[in-house]
């Protein structure tokens, strides 16, 4: 009976995916939800050897398209997807890596054109990266006032180093994106900022 129920649910999901493929971009969210369930419950094993074969033979989806849809369904709510749209949410996810920060960005910024959203995302990510790095100023590597044995201190040093490296990589990416986005600007203040940021980028690398 359980197998029959799985088969029925599987057929329902596959049918909906195939139908939604021909609809609008907004349908990609539902496709993502259905693919996510099929993948997580391994329903594709009912008639395919693996998920890749399932994508090719049952729903005729490119792997990149399928995983994009799954990632959107995992990362955002249906309300966020309908409100912001696929293109903006892809920009946000690509440059703002932490879920909490993505939520903060969407709450604190209005919905703009794709180009304006790209600029706002770059500014947010750059500002966030700088704030995360500067929070270690005067703290990283120093022992606290309270008692801490050598092992605890070394573990904390490792955590701090990993955090610094993670935010350094994020900051480098944000700087590169900002410099790329501002390359055609004739504004003298922007040109001056570009010179300073290029120097910072060289030091970080």
Residue pLDDT, tens place only, 97-107: 888 999 999 99
pLDDT above 70 as % of the chain: 80
Distance CA 112, CA 83 (A): 11
Q: Would you kindly state where each structural domain of the chain is located, as residue ranges?
A: 1-75, 85-205
Residue 166 has pLDDT above 50, yes or no: yes
Angle 33-34-35 from CA coordinates, rounded to 5°: 95
Tokens of 137: 């100023």
pTM: 0.62
Residue pLDDT, tens place only, 33-79: 999 999 999 999 999 999 999 999 999 999 999 999 999 999 999 89
Instruction: Please report the pLDDT score of residue 176 as a whole number.
Output: 76
Residue 140 has pLDDT above 90, yes or no: no
Instruction: Please report the pLDDT score of residue 146 as a whole number.
Output: 44
């Amino acid at each position: 009976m359980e197998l029959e129920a799985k088969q029925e649910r599987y057929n329902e999901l596959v049918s909906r995916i195939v139908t939604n493929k021909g609809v609008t971009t907004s349908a990609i969210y539902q496709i993502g939800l259905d693919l996510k369930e099929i993948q997580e419950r391994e329903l594709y094993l009912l008639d395919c050897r693996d998920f890749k074969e399932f994508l090719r033979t049952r729903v005729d989806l490119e792997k990149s398209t399928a995983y994009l849809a799954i990632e959107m369904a995992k990362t955002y709510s249906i309300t966020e997807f309908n409100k912001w749209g696929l293109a903006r949410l892809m920009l946000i996810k690509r440059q703002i890596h932490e879920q909490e920060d993505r939520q903060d960005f969407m709450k604190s910024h209005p919905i703009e054109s794709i180009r304006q959203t790209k600029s706002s995302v770059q500014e947010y990510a750059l500002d966030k990266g700088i704030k995360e790095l500067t929070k270690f100023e005067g703290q990283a590597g120093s022992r606290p006032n309270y008692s801490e044995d050598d092992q605890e201190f070394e573990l904390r040093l490792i955590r701090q180093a990993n955090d610094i490296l993670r935010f350094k990589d994020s900051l480098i990416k944000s700087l590169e994106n900002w410099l790329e986005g501002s390359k055609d600007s004739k504004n003298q203040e922007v040109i001056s900022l570009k010179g300073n940021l290029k120097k910072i980028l060289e030091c970080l690398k």
